């Protein structure tokens, strides 16, 4: 099963499961979270065969790989994988069984000299069709139980409207990075059909779609690899030195969904968010931001004020303090008399 459904009118669960695992560094001379250029160390030593074995447990495959001095990036049949020396990020959609790979991830890390998990973040939106999910993702309580069996001490929360919740599980450990760490995620629904039209397989190549839709301009100078699915759907991963962004698109109007995620260390998200909303024109979206003490954007609540989301009205929000991180989550609804136009005056501002 690819990112898109096998037929344009078949249901596909675009809302992803997202796992981020940090491993304790083996040396006091290595700073967790700092840049490690040309460092084929830590998790980046995991062999391709072992990565494929891990993804087989998730029920997805590799479509493309791109690497730079800092990160190995994988575009998957169902979303994305990013591997840095001491951090692994796995994001999968559809009926994937992401957490089923967690024991092997921990074992593979131990095999390359990283036996201790420093912190873990697992999050997801409420599924559109939860009854279609497989073990251990049939409910959030089942997911929490699965992780608690392996880590004993963790902390779970449910944020947002009960009918459209966002779930988070962490080990609740004081992960303290000397470097900035901030991750923005936009989860968009009710996408404009005209904006979704380029993401149906036609005559354009995937790279042409990236250029013509403006995805290439979201964060300038990114190296991008992308995939356009048959008959519809699109995924891309982008690398900017030791940062990334990733986009996944399910364009069918009955269950349209687009996600955008990045850890790019900007001091202001207004330009990035404006460009994303201008490209996809969602009727509604959810947003989350994690920011640590060193984040260049400041605290999550300060970075995501309502002025950032021009043309949309906040429906609810939640702010949490997680040791050395702040977290903000909220739902936004498009104003009836306003349209995001993505004008060029902020095209290259962060």
- The residue from 73, 79, 80, 243 that is catalytic is 79
CA distance 123 to 91: 10
- The residue from 73, 248, 259, 297 that is catalytic is 248
Residues whose CB falls within 8 Å of the CB of residue 135, separated by 6 or more in sequence, listed in order: 97, 142
Instruction: Name the CA radius of gyration of the chain, rounded.
Output: 19
Q: Is 16 a catalytic residue?
A: yes
What region does 294 belong to: left with phi over 0, alpha with psi -120 to 50, or beta?
alpha
- The residue from 13, 20, 185, 226 that is catalytic is 13
Q: Which residue blocks in 170-258 are alpha helix, DSSP H?
A: 193-196, 206-213
Q: Is 235 a catalytic residue?
A: yes
CA distance 140 to 169: 9
Strand order in the sheet with 166-170: 62-67, 72-76, 79-83, 87-92, 17-23, 117-125, 166-170, 155-159
Q: Is 119 a catalytic residue?
A: no
- The residue from 2, 16, 36, 80 that is catalytic is 16
Q: Is 13 a catalytic residue?
A: yes
Q: Is 248 a catalytic residue?
A: yes
- The residue from 2, 60, 80, 93 that is catalytic is 93
Question: Which residues are catalytic, by number?
Answer: 13, 16, 79, 93, 235, 248
């Amino acid at each position: 099963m690819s990112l898109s459904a096998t037929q344009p009118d078949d249901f596909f669960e675009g809302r992803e499961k997202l796992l981020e695992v940090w491993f304790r560094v083996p040396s006091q001379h290595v700073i967790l979270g700092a840049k490690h250029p040309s460092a084929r160390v830590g998790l980046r030593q995991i062999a391709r065969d072992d990565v494929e074995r891990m993804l087989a447990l998730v029920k997805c495959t590799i479509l493309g790989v791109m690497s730079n001095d800092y990160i190995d990036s994988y575009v998957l049949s169902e979303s994305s994988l990013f591997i840095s020396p001491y951090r692994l990020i796995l994001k999968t959609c559809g009926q994937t069984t992401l957490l089923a790979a967690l024991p092997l991830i921990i074992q593979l890390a131990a095999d390359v000299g990283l036996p201790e998990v420093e912190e873990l973040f697992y999050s997801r939106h409420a599924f559109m069709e939860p009854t279609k999910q497989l073990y251990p993702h049939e409910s959030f309580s089942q997911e929490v139980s699965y992780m608690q069996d392996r880590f004993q001490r963790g902390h779970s929360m449910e944020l947002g409207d009960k009918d459209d919740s966002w779930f988070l599980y962490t080990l609740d450990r004081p992960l303290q990075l000397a470097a900035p760490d901030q991750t923005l995620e936009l989860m968009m629904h009710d996408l404009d059909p005209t904006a979704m039209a380029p993401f149906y397989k036609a005559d354009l190549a995937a790279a042409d779609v990236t250029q013509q839709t403006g995805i290439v301009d979201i964060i300038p100078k990114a190296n991008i690899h992308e995939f356009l699915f048959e008959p519809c759907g699109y995924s891309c991963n982008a690398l900017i030195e030791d940062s990334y962004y990733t986009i996944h698109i399910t364009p069918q109007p009955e269950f349209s969904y687009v996600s955008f995620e990045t850890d790019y260390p900007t001091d202001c998200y207004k330009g990035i968010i404006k460009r994303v909303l201008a490209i996809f024109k969602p009727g509604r979206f959810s947003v989350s931001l994690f920011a640590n003490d060193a984040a260049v954007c400041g605290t999550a609540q300060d970075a995501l004020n309502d002025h950032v989301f021009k043309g949309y009205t906040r429906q609810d929000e939640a702010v949490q303090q997680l040791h050395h991180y702040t977290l903000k989550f909220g739902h936004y609804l498009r104003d009836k008399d306003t349209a995001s136009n993505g004008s060029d005056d902020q095209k290259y501002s962060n």
